[in-house]
Amino acid sequence: MQEEQITRMYRDMGISEGVYRFGAQIESRLKDRFDEIDRIAEYNQMKVIRAMQESRVNAGCFQYTSGYGYDDLGRETLEKVYAGVFHTQSALVRPQIACGTHALAVALAANLRPGDELLSPAGKPYDTLEEVIGIRPSRGSLAEYGVSYRQVDLLPDGTFDYEEIEKAMGERTKLVTIQRSKGYQTRPSFSVAQIGELIAFVKRIRPDVICMVDNCYGEFVELTEPSDVGADLVVGSLIKNPGGGLAPIGGYIAGREDLIENCACRLTSPGLGREVGASLGVMQSFYQGLFLAPTVVAAALKGAILAANIYEACGFGVVPDGKESRHDIIQAVELGTPEGVIAFCQGIQAAAPVDSYVTPEPWAMPGYDSDVIMAAGAFVQGSSIELSADAPIKPPYAVYFQGGLTWPHAKLGILMSLEYLVRKGLVTL
Ligand SMILES: *Cc1c(COP(=O)(O)O)cnc(C)c1O
């Protein structure tokens, strides 16, 4: 009876019987993986609770503050909590950090000086960082300030090219940036262990080089974070994993005390550093979002694994594949055609709680070098810990799917994306 009601509900939502059955059959094979994800969430939940307890989080931390924000209890305690979660000396967690790109730009600009060189040993960085660094010329880039950039591409199998990395490390190399997640690429994402090996290698050559990890989409996917394996700085966005879907804005930088102080002076102003920056009433959402983040990330991971297995079974290329271990919440599906990518995104949109009636179309989004289509019926604009899909309209026409605040929503979104592809005749089950 119960099963019947559930299937009827799916049908009423627009999922055909064929799509529903196909999904159910694949889901039934994923139980062990889902159990493992739940265990990781259990551990990370305790890690967050412990950090909150140790920092003595209390109701006073949620108070609205305005103006300069001197002695902002909520802000100062939250920064301790983040340092506790990431096991770092210090952290900067603020609504004044507009997004992940901003957090990364602050961390880089704060810790590099004219004449220094930035090295990316893990290939091309995330699209929006190209302008931050000046790979694509841009107003105010690091290049304009005399910071040079070097990149060592990954080997064809997606691993680090240690020989070339060693050659690329020179006298001027000041900071090494490592992107954990694949972002808009089809390379593998790196495990925390792999990042640890790379950091150890870099530090053996030059112990004083700053190792920064772009941690976007990676938080709480594993038991440890890059800061547990030697990263001097970890950086991310609060409208991704650690915001738990509740943070309406923000970014974080966690790491070594002196480097975080540099970041604070860059974010606000020399001399003011961490002391200013009112929290404007967002603190409860930052704390509560962090509290929820481990289970939200688990829901998103289950969705990513279901999507990988469904689309693999349909004959599409998927990265990671259906069986691989996970190091971030992103799932790439190579649909191979613009029509496929558009239908997928429209399906995700149609399953959303917000803006489900709008039809996403490709557009020239700032910071990206091709048209991009984005599906997101999100409570927080552009939030990609919420169920969302993005695709640059260029070969290999891969869609990057991520998020899902709850597992049932992630599942509905994936089934709906498949439904749209089936309806368009792009997939036959
Ligand atoms: C999302 C992301 C960024 C940029 O974050 P925004 O909040 O979109 O500015 C940087 N690096 C990676 C790997 C990302 O996934």
Q: DSSP secondary structure string, 65-90?
A: --TT-TT-HHHHHHHHHHHHHHT-SE
Ligand 1 centroid to Cα of residue 238, in Å, is 10
- Calculate how far, in angstroms, residue 286's C-alpha sits from the geometric centre of ligand 1: 18
Together in a domain, 193 and 138: yes
Of 234, 257, 281, which one is at a domain's C-terminal end?
Answer: 281
Cα separation of 270 and 137, whole Å? Answer: 27
Question: Where residue 33 sits, what CATH number does that domain have?
Answer: 3.90.1150.60
Tokens found for residue 375: 């599906």
Residue nearest to atom 7 of ligand 1 (CA): 100
For residues 48-67, give the mean pLDDT: 97
Asked if residue 330 and residue 223 are part of one domain, the reply reads: no
Asked whether residue 90 is assigned to any structural domain, the reply reads yes
Quick one: pLDDT at residue 184?
73
199 contacts 178 by C-beta, under 8 angstroms: yes
Residue owning the nearest CA to atom 14 of ligand 1: 216
Query: Atom of ligand 1 at shortest distance to CA of 217?
Result: 15
Q: What is the pLDDT of residue 357?
A: 97
Question: pLDDT tier at 368 (50, 70, 90 boundaries)?
Answer: confident
**Among candidate residues 227, 283, 294, the one with its CA nearest the CA of residue 46:** 294
User: Do 201 and 264 lie in a common domain?
Assistant: yes
Please give the pLDDT value at position 369: 78
Could you tell me if residue 275 is inside a domain? Answer: yes
pLDDT tens digits along 281-328: 999 999 999 999 999 999 999 999 999 999 999 999 999 999 999 999
Taking CB atoms within 8 Å and a gap of at least 24, the contacts of 69-77 are 69/276, 69/277, 69/278, 69/279, 70/275, 70/276, 72/277, 72/278, 72/279, 74/279, 74/283, 74/287, 75/277, 75/278, 75/279, 75/283
Cα 305 to middle of ligand 1, angstroms: 21
Mutate to test the pocket of ligand 1, among 214, 233, 380, 384 (most ligand atoms within 8 A of CB): 214
Query: What is the position in ligand 1's atom list of the atom closest to the CA of 126?
Result: 11
The answer, yes or no, to whether residue 234 has pLDDT greater than 70, is: yes
Q: Tell how far the Cα of 120 is from the centroid of ligand 1, in angstroms.
A: 16
pLDDT value at position 152?
Answer: 98
Of 296, 299, 388, the C-alpha closest to 351 is 388
Write the pLDDT tens digit of every residue in 99-150: 999 999 999 999 999 999 999 999 999 989 999 999 999 999 999 999 999 9
Name 145's Cβ contacts closer than 8 Å, sequence gap at least 6. 109, 112, 114
Which atom of ligand 1 is nearest the CA belonging to 182? Answer: 13
pLDDT in tens, 178-218: 999 988 777 889 999 999 999 999 999 999 999 999 999 99
Structural contact between residues 404 and 299, judged by C-beta atoms closer than 8 angstroms: yes
With respect to residue 51, please indicate whether it lies within any of the assigned structural domains: no
Q: Which among 227, 255, 281 is the end of a domain?
A: 281
Dump pLDDT digits (tens) for 59-99.
999 999 999 999 999 999 999 999 999 999 999 999 999 99
367 band by pLDDT with thresholds 50, 70 and 90:
low
In a domain, 50, yes or no: no
Ligand 1 atom closest to the CA of 180, numbered from 1: 13
Across 248-270, average pLDDT: 98
Share of the chain above pLDDT 90, in %: 95
Do residues 227 and 113 both lie within one domain?
yes
Contact 222, 40 (CB under 8 A): yes
Same structural domain, 221 and 345: no
- Cα 398 to Cα 185: distance, rounded to the nearest angstrom: 9
Distance 106 CA to ligand 1 centre (A): 13
User: How confident is residue 370, by pLDDT bands cut at 50, 70 and 90?
Assistant: confident
In this prediction, residues 381-410 reach a mean pLDDT of 94
Class of residue 232 by CB neighbours under 10 A (exposed 0-12, middle 13-18, buried 19+): buried
The predicted structure's pLDDT at residue 210: 98
Q: Quick one: pLDDT band at residue 228, thresholds 50, 70, 90?
A: very high
Tell me the pLDDT of the chain averaged across its residues.
96
Cβ < 6 Å from ligand 1: which residues? Answer: 99-101, 104, 126, 128, 179, 181, 183, 214, 216-217, 237
Pocket test for ligand 1, best of 101, 180, 235 (most atoms within 8 A of CB): 101
Question: What span, in angstroms and rounded, lies between the C-alpha atoms of 365 and 389?
Answer: 14
Please state, as a whole number, how many other Cβ atoms lie within 10 Å of the Cβ of residue 8.
10
Question: What is the percentage of the chain residues whose pLDDT exceeds 70?
Answer: 100
Give the pLDDT score at 67.
96
Tell whether 185 and 306 lie within a shared domain.
no
DSSP conformation class of 242: G
Domain identity same for 295 and 274: no
Ligand 1 atom with least separation from CA of 330: 15
Testing ligand 1's pocket by substitution, the residue of 97, 180, 237 carrying the most ligand atoms inside 8 A of its CB is 237
Atom of ligand 1 nearest to the CA of 104: 10
| Domain range for 364 | 2-43+291-423
The verdict on 274 and 128 lying in the same domain is yes
Q: In what order do the strands lie in the sheet with 251-255?
A: 90-94, 251-255, 233-237, 210-214, 173-179, 117-120, 148-151
Same domain, residue pair 224 and 360: no
User: 216: CA distance to ligand 1 center in Å?
Assistant: 6
Residues 261 and 404 placed together within one structural domain of the fold: no
- For residue 366, pLDDT beyond 80: no
Number of domains in the chain: 2
Among candidate residues 281, 304, 327, the one where a domain is terminated? 281
Lowest mean pLDDT among 165-174, 248-257, 373-382: 373-382
* Per-residue pLDDT at 183: 80
